[in-house]
Amino acid sequence: MTGPNGVLNNSGLTENLGYAFKDKRLLEEALTHKSYYHENREIAPSNNERLEFLGDAVIGLIIVEYLFLQEKQYPESVLAKVKSYLVSEMVLADIAASISLGKYLLLGKGEESTGGRDKKSILADSLEALIGAVYLDSDYKMTKSIVMGFFREKIESAIESGEFFDYKTELQEKTQLLYGVLPEYRLIQQQGEEHKRIFTVAVYLNGKKLGTASGRRKKEAETLAAKKALAKIG
């Protein structure tokens, strides 16, 4: 199977992934979006939806297992929230972009013309399919090594920052209920080089500062500022 972007020349992807497929057909299937399959059924025997379904389950198991075996025994409610955050479209698409997955996908003409290679939904689904393909081509141990390589830092960051918990929504609901107004977030400072930037954000209510926090992403800083604000207003 070949595509307009030479998908069979995927050495860059396997290098970024850290895994060389024994069965190249599994890799091709993982990279075949349904839009390409529908337009090229004579040369595309399948699309990546089944592998996506499998990969979603495999990623979820590996993440939950890692969290479950931590020395700090997190309650079920925390396990569920952390897992839900980590397998979200945003996080999966971010990982997919980090290995340039989009440029190796086989897309139909419509998806190609509308920027499908950068769509978060397509990137997230394709990453799940890719992990599903790795699992079938290797074993659980290898798949776990690859998945944790992608997720370990994100898991630790989520737990440390509390980003998995929606402090911003809770603050918004509480301030509306108590004061009838919405909180306002202001970017106070940006420091560091682009790939190591630190953002500092303050959250205000009626012009009064309730909390200030810093993070590696603006959203993380806002989340931590909201957490501080919630503690302040009780």
Residues known to be catalytic: 56, 128
CA distance 148 to 165: 21
CA separation, residue 111 to residues 12, 92, 106, 155 (Å): 23, 19, 10, 32
Enumerate the β-bridge partners of residue 167: none
